[in-house]
Chains A and B, each alone.
Chain A
Amino acid sequence: MTTFLIAEDDPTKKHKYVKFGRHYGIQFIPVASARAAYAVLHKPQDYPALDGVIADFELGGQRRDNWPHTRIDTSGPDGHTYPLSTGLGVLDTAHTLNPGMPLWALTDLSAAHAPLYMSAASLWLDAKPLSIERLYQPGTPLGDEANEELRYPSSYETSNPHWRWIDDARSSFAALIETPYSSHEAFDWLNALTHLRAHRGLIPALTDQIRLITQNPTLNAFANTLAPCMAKWQLRLAEIYQDFSVDRQEDRWPVLDEDNLPRSIKPWADFNPISDFLGGNAQCREFFESPDVRVALMNWRSRDQRG
């Protein structure tokens, strides 16, 4: 029987995909946390052989009182331990253990973090996007396609309705994270920006935040050099989100011109998509701040250098 590990913490959704599995003769091993997923992946002898891993991004890791039950500390590539808490961390662990394992990034298409998660999982781990709605429809053409894709992952170009979205989004996501500022990872700057609230004093607040995140007291932000970089980040984000029906207050995003980037941070005086939209969403904040997502990025970079 085709068997998948599925990390998803919503019991209602679990009921749905179990029903989907029964309809198509697929066995799901459901786990509700990164900790449980880690246990299954590290003890393959205790479970049926896996044909793939499916993981939702948010696995209850946001609530601090849940941490002992949902997170697990594991060692990273540089020997330091880091907590495994998100679905992306689960997929990255599965990929590290078995690089050929088919992976799927599971989420609701209209969730604010969906484009980020699906793009990152696709770029870093070659994971396919899996909209949760597809598992709700056993017996329909959409459900049949999901079944076909799970059984024959290489058929995803014909059976996955969203692969083209992600194909476009991931190249923009690659451009986003390959736009460093002040010779430092864009990912960390974006993390710092999602934790800012007040527009007034953006530069000093951002400087404090990036130093706190990186533990590097020499990092600085300057309005005239940050502005063009932030404009590029915003333009890439707009491309990543362009196919998704995410309610992102699109009309409030500053209008920017790729060929004439701003030299001051004035365009973001009223609304900054990074701090106001991404920062205003708990899952997007979790995406940038979770250590296991950062580790997945570093793992991808080291694989990229080796390859």
Chain B
Amino acid sequence: MSARIAVWFRSQFLRSHQRRDEDLEFWWQLPADRTRTTSPWSQLVMDLVTPAAFSEWHVKVAESRVIGYDRIRPPVTRMLLLCLTAAGLSALRAPWWCWALLGPGLLQVLLEIYLSRYVYDTADEPVWSWARRMRDITNAHFRTMLLNVTGAVGIAACPLNVLAVCVAPCPAGGGWPKIGALAAAIFYANSGLASALLDPPNYTESSLMPPVMHWIRPYAPLISCGVVAAMVAFGAALGRWQHDLLGIAYLCAALALLLGSTLRNHDRVVAAAAEVAREAVRDGRSELGGVVHDDLGPAKAAAEAASRAECVSYQDSVELQALAAYLTHFSTRVGLHASQRMELSYLVEKLIGPYGLSRRDVRYDIRWAAETMRKHDHRIAIRMTTALVHNVAQTLRRPEYRQVPKAIVVECFHTGEGRDVRYHLAVHDHLPVIASTEWCCAGSTLAALRTWLRQDFNGDLTQQVLGDGTKKIIATWADRPPAFPQAGEAAGKPAP
């Protein structure tokens, strides 16, 4: 039993947590808020227990807030609250040891204000080496853990301030100043805890903190309230509270719960801002798509026309035909989760449309992982699809082939392993088999395509006769260039 407790203790208190960020391909897709409930009533409860969301969006907002918006506001606020606490103690004529309890608080705010100009992204250097060391710790832990020197001092300062007030004597007429000092000390603790619990490590899987630091966060206000109430009770046991104000002192402890309001308001705003930011990204992409559509529409038509000019080389004409599809793809794929890569089916539909082939005429047998194959190979696949499908669609439109079935199949697969992987893109059609004497004859587009594949992509173009009157034309290329230069290249000549 004790072994199990030890394992649990180690996993929760000593080892780093295992939670992960929201799974998004790009951070600007922005995380969905999984804590929203259908019923507004259950949401009230959910908000009380839900931990901070982990995502790049949340951590970026936290970093931006701390560096750009918080700046010295939190330590200066704490300095003011410390002064109010000290004023209360002064009114109570507190003994020296009560003042000594405020020491960590004073040290914390002075250090924080002094270090504020040296931490994060600044070129300023502290004069003293101990300050440089503190600055380095703060910078190093900024995105990974809550522990830094001023934070460690704050761990002591927050409860000691409250304790100083609770155990300070309460002379006649000192009841209300003591209540005021207690409130100031509690607000100091709230400010310190809020700074820690809203720091970037609370929102990221990069945090090195143990799980307890994450799951305890929603309950921190309750724990803080309990600790303050316990200190008030301790002071009462020592007879340091006026009896008629003791109830007010306990009520003051409830001020610690305001910390929860601060944390949850912050988290809600960040989550709500994600919705708006998502809309902004979507609108921006849509606007950009519109610009591409409106401004490059004429260029698309020009590219199509230029692709048919006789003076344009075969490679360039294929590139220009693909460009037209790319432009349309760019202007329509504006959704947040739209595929960044143009799908071959999308390209094929764009290519065959003008020739009267319907998307229902095409079947796809894609056996390679289009989303994970190298970009280089995907780009070749786009070009080969453009070349082959365009060739078939154009031929099917010829008067002599009007009775030929229009159905085509686009097959994609790879062979080999490791560095010997070869990709194959085949178009299966019902057009007559090309006689071996006419296959890739000089000046034909197929000959140009074969030369392109051989010279640039370590590949080849082949015809497979299927025996049922149909055939496949297969473009093949290697994932890697050849280990040794081909004979023609070595001699400075193009391959045959």
Chain A interface (Cβ < 8 Å from any Cβ of B) = 10, 12-13, 16, 109-110, 131, 133-134, 136-137, 139-142, 145, 158, 160-162, 164-165, 242-245, 247
Please state if A110 and B353 are interface contacts (CB–CB under 8 Å). yes
A165 and B406 alpha carbons, distance in the complex (Å): 13
Check A136–B298 contact: CB distance below 8 A: no
Q: How far is the CB of B17 from chain A (nearest CB, A)?
A: 34
- A142 to B357, alpha carbons, bound, how many Å? 13
Is the C-beta of B308 less than 8 angstroms from some C-beta in chain A? Answer: yes
Instruction: Please name all residues of chain B whose beta carbon is closer than 8 Å to the beta carbon of A244 when the two chains form the complex.
Output: 353, 359
B356 at the interface (CB under 8 A from A): yes
Is B360 touching A243 in the complex (CB atoms < 8 A)? yes
Counted as pairs of residues, one from A and one from B, with CB atoms less than 8 Å apart, the total is 63
B32 CB, min distance to chain A CBs, angstroms: 14
Q: Nearest Cβ in chain B — how far from A131, in angstroms? A: 6
Q: Mark B333-367, 1 if CB is under 8 A from A, else 0.
A: 10000000000001001100111111110000000
Flag the segment in B92-100, B270-278, B394-402 that touches A. Answer: B394-402
- If A110-B328, A131-B353 touch, whether A165 touches B304 (CB-CB below 8 Å) is no
A142 to B297, CA, bound (A): 21
Check A12/B359 contact, CB under 8 A, given A136-B304, A136-B305, A141-B398.
Answer: no
Contact check: which of A16, A142, A158 meets B301 at CB < 8 Å?
Answer: A16
Decide yes or no: A137 and B358 within 8 Å by CB, A110-B328, A245-B349 being known contacts.
no
Closest chain-A Cβ to B185's Cβ sits at a distance in Å of 48
Distance between Cα atoms of A165 and B358 in the complex (Å): 8
Interface of B is mostly: helix
A-B contact pairs, 19 of them (CB 8 A): A10-B297, A109-B354, A110-B350, A110-B353, A131-B353, A131-B354, A133-B304, A136-B301, A136-B305, A141-B398, A142-B397, A160-B356, A161-B357, A162-B356, A165-B356, A165-B358, A243-B360, A244-B359, A245-B349
Q: How far is the CA of A151 from the CA of B360 in the complex (A)?
A: 30
Cβ of B144 within 8 Å of any chain A Cβ, yes or no, is no
**Contact A13 B301, CB 8 Å, known A161-B397, A164-B356:** yes
Q: Are A141 and B298 in contact (CB under 8 A)?
A: no
Q: How far is the CA of A142 from the CA of B399 in the complex (A)?
A: 11
Does B148 sit at the interface, judged by CB under 8 A? no
**Is B332 an interface residue, CB under 8 A from the partner?**
yes
Number of interface residues of B (CB under 8 A): 26
Chain A residue numbers with a CB within 8 Å of B357 are 161
Q: Which A residues lie within 8 Å of B298 (CB)?
A: 10, 12
* Residue from the set B328, B353, B355, B358 with the largest chain A CB neighbour count within 10 Å: B353
| A-B interface, 3 closest residue pairs, ranked by CB to CB distance from nearest | A161-B356, A245-B349, A12-B298
Give chain B interface residues in 169-223, CB to chain A under 8 Å. Answer: none
Instruction: Kindly identify which residue among A131, A139, A140, A243 contacts B359, using a CB–CB cutoff of 8 Å.
Output: A243
Name the CB-closest residue of B to A137.
Answer: B308
Contacts of A243 in B (CB 8 A): 358-360
The minimal Cβ–Cβ distance linking A110 to chain B, given in whole angstroms, is 6
Could you tell me the distance between the alpha carbons of A89 and B248 in the complex, rounded to whole angstroms? 80
Across-interface contacts of A145 in B (CB, < 8 A): 397
The answer to whether B360 and A161 have CB atoms under 8 Å apart is no
When chains A and B are docked, how far (Å) is the Cα of A110 from the Cα of B329?
11
| A142 B355 Cβ-Cβ under 8 A | yes
Q: Write the B373-402 contact mask toward A (1 if CB under 8 angstroms, else 0).
A: 000000000000000000000100111001
Residues of B within 8 A of A165 (CB): 356, 358
Whether B304 contacts A109 by the Cβ 8 Å rule is no
